Amino acid sequence: MRRLLPICTAICLATLCAAQDMHAPASAIAGEEVTISTNGSGKATFYLLGPGVSRKSDVSLGSEVQLKAQDLQNAGEYFAFLCSDTCRSSSFYVTAAKPASLTFLVHPSRVPVGQGDAVSGVALPFDQFRNLVLTPETVNFHLLEGTASVFSRSSQTRDGIAWFRTASQKSAGTLQVDASLGDLSARRAVQQVASDPCNLRIKGERTKAGILVQTEPVRDCAGNPVPDGTIVSFTATDGNGRSTVDAPIKQGVARAQLEAPGATVISVASGVAMGNELRIGAQP
């Protein structure tokens, strides 16, 4: 029995000395070096598996394993394994570094004036390695019409997202939409455009070539000029049949030349809006 005890002790010590172990940090910051300490003696194989990385190297037990900054750029869960006869494992999380860019989604890029909750924006802070920054950050949203501020709000990110929603303004033009987080900022533009034409009115007269007809300045119901290029359809009906011209608004008015020698009725429409009718007598 006396002889057996030292033998057992020796076997146990030998087992303990040979058994490898390692200590990884509980968490780390993306792009920063990490040291993992190992116990034991002899040689072992070290494995690191994580988002975007897979590493395998021989290590001497008892020494430290240096994980380089480029191995730990992606946020997420990393697994470390130390294998000789058996394998030991450890896992740790890498979290995003400080915000380095701001992704800013703004919609729509064109919006009719005077519409409630029509403009919205979503901001997402990312670190320099494009990891989503999940710690709460304050994002300032700022909307400008020309130089006039029309909307301002501070919003804290939740799970990496801050957002706002607001109405479009009363007048047509470019709405500048800014999001900022500390020194970071992103800018988008929303075109506020007139709604459908309202009170479409035409006037016309006979010329040598036929009938020259044109609209009064085309505006929406709020008085905003309808964008140039919008199609206005003129239709003239006389004894010879029907003549139509789809003419774009240019400099606020649309005009067309119609061929109709007889007594003619001319109507006008743009989208869902109808205008007045014009009656012009036959060519003398």
Look-up of token digits 């070096």 = 33
Q: Which of 150, 161, 167, 222 binds other proteins (CB under 8 A)?
A: 161
Which residue lies nearer to other proteins by CB, 151 or 163?
A: 163
Q: Which of 43, 68, 165, 170 binds other proteins (CB under 8 A)?
A: 165
Task: Based on the shown chain and the rule CB under 8 A, indicate whether residue 151 belongs to the binding site for other proteins.
Answer: no
Instruction: Tell me which residues in 29-58 interact with other proteins (CB under 8 A).
Output: 45, 47, 49, 51-56
Structure tokens at 208: 């040598």
Q: Which of 16, 152, 244, 274 binds other proteins (CB under 8 A)?
A: 244
Which one of 17-25, 35-43, 88-96, 136-144 is the stretch in contact with other proteins (CB under 8 A)? 88-96
* Residue 249 · residue 228 · CB < 8 Å: yes
Report, in Å, the least distance between residue 147 CB and other proteins: 22
Task: Based on the shown chain and the rule CB under 8 A, indicate whether residue 228 belongs to the binding site for other proteins.
Answer: yes
Structure tokens at 174: 């470019």
* Residue 113 · residue 222 · CB < 8 Å: yes
* Residue 43 · residue 65 · CB < 8 Å: no
- Residue burial 168-205, b: 16+ Cβ < 10 Å; e: rest: bbeebeebbbbbbbeebebebebebbbbebeebebebe
Report, in Å, the least distance between residue 9 CB and other proteins: 32
Task: Based on the shown chain and the rule CB under 8 A, indicate whether residue 252 belongs to the binding site for other proteins.
Answer: no
Look-up of token digits 């910051």 = 29
Report, in Å, the least distance between residue 258 CB and other proteins: 7
Rounded Cα distance, 55 and 46, in Å: 8
By C-alpha distance, which of 205, 223, 213, 221 is closest to 253? Answer: 213
Give me the 107-136 binding string for other proteins, x by CB under 8 A, dash otherwise.
Answer: xxxx------x--x-x-x-----xxx-x--
Instruction: Tell me which residues in 196-225 interact with other proteins (CB under 8 A).
Output: none
Task: Based on the shown chain and the rule CB under 8 A, indicate whether residue 75 belongs to the binding site for other proteins.
Answer: yes
Task: Based on the shown chain and the rule CB under 8 A, indicate whether residue 25 belongs to the binding site for other proteins.
Answer: no
Q: Which of 231, 263, 274, 282 binds other proteins (CB under 8 A)?
A: 231
Task: Based on the shown chain and the rule CB under 8 A, indicate whether residue 240 belongs to the binding site for other proteins.
Answer: yes
Rounded Cα distance, 46 and 121, in Å: 46
